Amino acid sequence: MKLITCVIRPERLAAVKEALFRAGVTGITLSRVSGHGGEREVVETYRGSSVVLEFREKVKVEMACSEPYVEATIRAIVEAARTGEVGDGKIFVQPLERVVRIRTGETDNDALTPVTANEVQRKAQQADAAAVPA
């Protein structure tokens, strides 16, 4: 089991969420964050004064995945979040020692399997099929 955390551009969130659902990942946690990495500072004018913006708005997405989903999850994030520009983000993969579903007491991989996984994946595949021109 792994905890996958990615920090992405806010405008790429919808595409990343859609790609994750297609890959079978339905349980995600989102946080609005700000920070900086390789981007340069931007100077903007606000009410006649120059303001240096050193932090960029980002979205942090976290999900717990069982081993068979890890590589598919990483691929989905990379393909959906990549613009090719500095600031596309990062993916962090960490081991998970234990997971417990509070509602049922299920643990580890049983706790990670979404109750609606098959339904969500089927809907995503139907949407993909409908989007492909005949």
pLDDT of residue 51: 76
Question: How is the chain split into domains, by residue range?
Answer: 2-116
**Do the beta carbons of residue 39 and residue 99 sit within 8 Å?**
no
pLDDT of residue 118: 61
**Do the beta carbons of residue 39 and residue 53 sit within 8 Å?**
no
Look up the pTM and report it. 0.76
pLDDT of residue 113: 74
pLDDT of residue 86: 87
Series of mean pLDDT values for 10-residue runs along the chain (134 residues)? 96 96 91 84 76 85 93 96 92 96 90 67 70 66
So what CATH class is 2-116? alpha beta
pLDDT of residue 38: 72
Question: Rounded to an integer, what distance in angstroms lies between the CA atom of residue 54 and that of residue 23?
Answer: 34
